[in-house]
Amino acid sequence: MIDYDKITDIFCIVDEFCKDFDATTQPFLLGKPSKRPPTMSKSEIISICMLFHLSGFRCFKHFYIFYLQRHMQREFPNTVSYNRFVELSQSVLMPMSIFLKTCCLGLCTGISFVDSTPIRVCHTKRIKRNKVFKGIAEVGKSTMGWFYGFKLHIVLSDKGEILNFAITQANVDDREPLKNEAFLKAVFGKLFADKGYISEKLTKILFVGDIHLITNIRNNMKNSLMTMNDKIMLRKRSVIETVNDELKNICQVEHARHRSFTNFITNIVSGLIAYSFLPKKPSISYQQNRSNQILAF
């Protein structure tokens, strides 16, 4: 469980953002505002969604009914029923997504890593019986086998901070998000990836945008020259696998209990926000030794 001081800090940050969001979007709202004041504010709803991903609970219903409503009445005195809160959590998807994009993403340092991880929405034996994601999710294949759902693509800095993310269907190629200019807008320098991102055309496109895509080579490919620093950083690429593992097992971005697509997206966005508030993130430490020995030649 997280301490109460951390809860206060998270709520203050979210509340300041919600005030700015409401002030900015107020002139563009259509219709007349409701005369009845809301029972729970946007900042309370977003904070509760984030706290679930940091609490260690596996089931949100158990967390909300048996922990939050019983032991956190001082922090959240005006809680609503569980069914009503699920509806309210879907209504704050837009401010939650903007909060993630504007306040929770890290800064690029010149060394970045990119990878995708499968987000399963049900077991492969129950694909034909799944009605929630019918016509939305697709069947794809990863290194662990076939799965039904989506892919979460993330770009990570060497400090363990998420620089950007994208959600695609399971049958989409891992290289497709890299072709989108907005996906790598905040990235520069060297971008390390696995063998699934090998593409001569994509490398040339990214090189024009000041991004050097570095991958390992397949067994049937000719050897290519690579600096020792790049070889070492490719071995450090496992840091993004650790982040994917924390997103699934700590932040709970993957489970098979969704009852709507909006709830699925809300869960992923709140999980990514919760990751940004983790006290310690997986990172790599490296030190470059500059030498003038090359001048001797």
pLDDT in tens, 90-130: 999 999 999 999 999 999 999 999 999 999 999 988 999 99
Going by the DSSP 8-state scheme, the letter that residue 56 receives in this structure is -
Alpha-helical runs (H) found in 144-296: 200-208, 228-235, 238-249, 261-276
Q: Look up residue 182 and give its DSSP letter.
A: T
DSSP string spanning 100-140?
A: IIIII-----SEEEEEEEEEEEE-GGGTTT--TTTTT-EEE
Give the pLDDT mean for 157-161.
92
| pTM: predicted TM-score of the whole model, two decimal places | 0.90
| DSSP-derived secondary structure letter, 171 | T
Q: Evaluate whether the domain defined by 111-255 bears CATH number 3.40.50.
A: no
- What separation in angstroms does the CA of 230 have from each of 77, 112, 194, 288, 295? 53, 12, 13, 11, 21
- Listed in sequence order, the DSSP H helices in the chain are 4-25, 42-55, 60-63, 69-71, 82-91, 93-99, 200-208, 228-235, 238-249, 261-276
Residue 248 tokens, joined: 């699934």
Supply the mean pLDDT for the chain: 89
Q: In the predicted model, is pLDDT for residue 290 greater than 80?
A: no
pLDDT in tens, 207-221: 988 899 999 888 777
List the domain boundaries for the chain.
4-104, 111-255
